[in-house]
Structure 1
Amino acid sequence: MTIPGISNWCEWTWPIEGEYACYIKTRAIPNLGNWILFSPSQIQNFVKGEINQPSPQLSESTKPKSPWKIPIPHASKLCPKRLGLQELTSELQNRGIDCLHLRNRSMLNKKYNTRPMNDEEFPLSSGWATKEVQKYGKKGGGKRIKKRISTILEQYFLAGNVDKSNRMTAQDMWNLLTLKASEGEIESSEIPKVTTIQGWITRYAAQLREKSAQTMLEEI
């Protein structure tokens, strides 16, 4: 099963109870923004085959011989669930958040996760966008070759077909177009890039081969 746009999101959760039980919830940035919801019916539409419940093999957990010592992460990446109640309260107070009226850990965690971010914690400048809302130009939507430039390129190409010694590369054609622009025959702004001319040569050669094959079939 593949969810369309799956690469756009980084945080996922699969609730098993509550209002959104059996839903898939996701969003682009952890702890930031609204959840995008996929209902059970939507999930079913993504499935190409039958889903079978796995039967995992369980083994007994091992007992560590030494205590686990996990260092406290950097303050900018603190996980409130790993902090003691007093440490969590101190962290909120250090960030200028009033939390003395909060009575339990659940309320402290919620305050920590929903606090407003300042510039130091969220340094992205105005105009940034997550991957899910970025807009890219359509493939093939670049600058098009004008008709009269295309006609000139056809002349260059066909001259090479008649006499192999006159065959030109994309760079050769670009050089001749630049010369025409310097002589005032065309506008310099009309000259396509060398890579664009190379793409045109590839497409035009394929068109000629297709026409030639079609003509041969009609003559049979």
Structure 2
Amino acid sequence: NKGKSMTIPGISNWFEWTWPIEGEDAGYIKARAMPNVGKWTLFSPAHIQKLLKGEINQPSPQVSETTKPKSPWKIPIPHSSGICPKRLPLQELTNELQNRKVDYGNQNKRQKLVEILDKELTHETLEKKESCLRNRSMLHKEYTTRLSDITEFPLSSGWAMKEVQKYGKKGGGKRIKKSISAVLEECFLAGNVDKSYRMTAQDMWNLLTLKAQEGEIESSDIPKVTTIQGWITRYAVQLREKSAQMVLEEA
């Protein structure tokens, strides 16, 4: 049977990983929550070894030497229009060249027209690619300029890394005291008997506030309106379950 595998505590908080083989961090595994943001968390080989039963080995991929072709490969660059000159009949070749205002002289041999159109399509594709690269370069320059203006954390206030988020313990909030629950139950049941006495969560909160002013309860014990609303929902479910159980027992 395989033993229970162990993982690094908090491993789900990190989304960028690297295992450098050079520099001062060589041999360490580095992790952080977001690419290019925040400080690295370092894990030493000794730390990782404690989580493993066997020996830890850094991957060493095998790379083969490139081969040199004996004959040149001429592969046309695909055009965005999807046109393939080699598959076009003579008339369509001339139409495409005329539409692009390409001077092909008195050439009427199909193979030559294919070569001319192929060069024109390649030229158009390269021009479009260069334009895209220029735009991308400008956007990158603008982005890096904005980053250089940020002296502190590059995200606005209110953001938090997953690794530093703190979640409240479920059920760990302030509980409603029995004396308060008794008042709420009385209000709820009175509303069940007579709809004219039915109270909302806000109405119940107002009643509790009045009782606190009269000294019957402590004002610090009064729950929030949202808490009272949650209590109403849960208590209504409990009453329905009790009623259903009683019907089953009497049947």
TM-score of the superposition, structure 2-length normalised? 0.48
Which has the larger Rg?
Answer: 2
Matches within 5 A, 1:20-39: 26-31=31-36, 32-34=39-41
Contiguous gaps of at least 5 residues in structure 1: 19-23, 43-58, 79-118
Whole-Å separation in 1 of the counterparts to 2:212 and 2:186: 17
Q: Residue 146 of structure 1 aligns with which residue?
A: 177
RMSD: 4.1
Matches within 5 A, 1:124-135: 130-135=161-166
Q: Residue 187 of structure 1 aligns with which residue?
A: 218
Shift of residue 11 of structure 1? 2.8
8 A contact 2:180–2:222 mirrored in 1: yes
Shift of residue 77 of structure 1? 4.8
SS in 2 for 1:196: helix
Once the two structures are superposed, residues 192-211 of structure 1 have per-residue CA deviations (whole angstroms, 9 ceiling, x without a partner) of 11111111111111111101
Matches within 5 A, 1:45-60: none
Q: Residue 11 of structure 1 aligns with which residue?
A: 16
Whole-Å separation in 1 of the counterparts to 2:223 and 2:195: 24
Whole-Å separation in 2 of the counterparts to 1:208 and 1:61: 74
Whole-Å separation in 2 of the counterparts to 1:61 and 1:140: 63
Residue 34 of structure 2 aligns with an amino acid whose one-letter code is I
Q: Residue 137 of structure 1 aligns with which residue?
A: 168
8 A contact 2:30–2:41 mirrored in 1: no
Shift of residue 191 of structure 1? 0.8
Of residues 178, 199, 209, the one that matches 1:178 is 209
Size of the aligned set, in residue pairs, is 151
More helix by share: 2
Answering whether residue 198 of structure 2 is matched by residue 167 of structure 1, we say: yes
Shift of residue 65 of structure 1? 2.2
Q: How high is the sequence identity, in percent, across the aligned residues?
A: 67
SS in 2 for 1:189: helix
Whole-Å separation in 2 of the counterparts to 1:171 and 1:129: 34
Q: Residue 126 of structure 2 aligns with which residue?
A: 65
